[in-house]
Amino acid sequence: MNVTVTIPIKAQILSGGFEVHAASDGASWSKAQLGEYSGKSGVYVLQANGKILYVGKTTIGDYGNFGERLRRHFHEKASQNSRVHKLLVSQTTPIRAYLLDLEDLDMLIDHGSASLTRERKALVMEQLLIGIYEPEGNAE
């Protein structure tokens, strides 16, 4: 069985996406800043100052869209002051989010004769990006 994956190069990730602002010290945070991406699902990369900070995935369910996942990273109370939230609010330069939505993943992953759902494709891409870029926020 062969599975072929096209992985975005770091320059593509760093030059793409859009700014996302973190909220700390009880400040509010709005999914509206994500625009049309808020309700999407897929694999996302958070980066600042040329450094990939975190790679995550969104799939389905109550907390399975991009807006909900980012709210849980960027809003202090929703994150329960997590390690990822602390990393994000410690950045001195703007944070950018890059999203490969589920449709993008269909084009980037040729599953050949294997049977892979979109959610499994997201898992494959997330793990490959973490393995390649070794983001600080994904370190144990």
pLDDT confidence of residue 114: 80
Burial of 25 (0-12, 13-18, 19+ CB in 10 A): exposed
CATH number assigned to the domain comprising residue 94: 3.40.1440.10
pLDDT at 62: 59
Alpha helices (H) along 31-108: 66-74, 76-79, 83-89, 102-108
pLDDT tens, per residue, the chain with 140 residues: 788 999 999 999 999 999 998 877 677 888 888 888 888 999 999 999 999 999 999 987 656 788 888 988 888 888 888 899 999 999 999 999 999 999 999 999 987 778 888 889 999 999 999 999 999 999 97
The partner residues of 58 in beta bridges, in order of sequence, read 42
Q: What is the pLDDT at residue 61? A: 64
Written as one string, the DSSP assignment of 15-33 is HSSEEE--B-TT----GGG
Count of the separate structural domains present in the chain: 1
Domain span at 13: 4-138
**This prediction's pTM:** 0.92
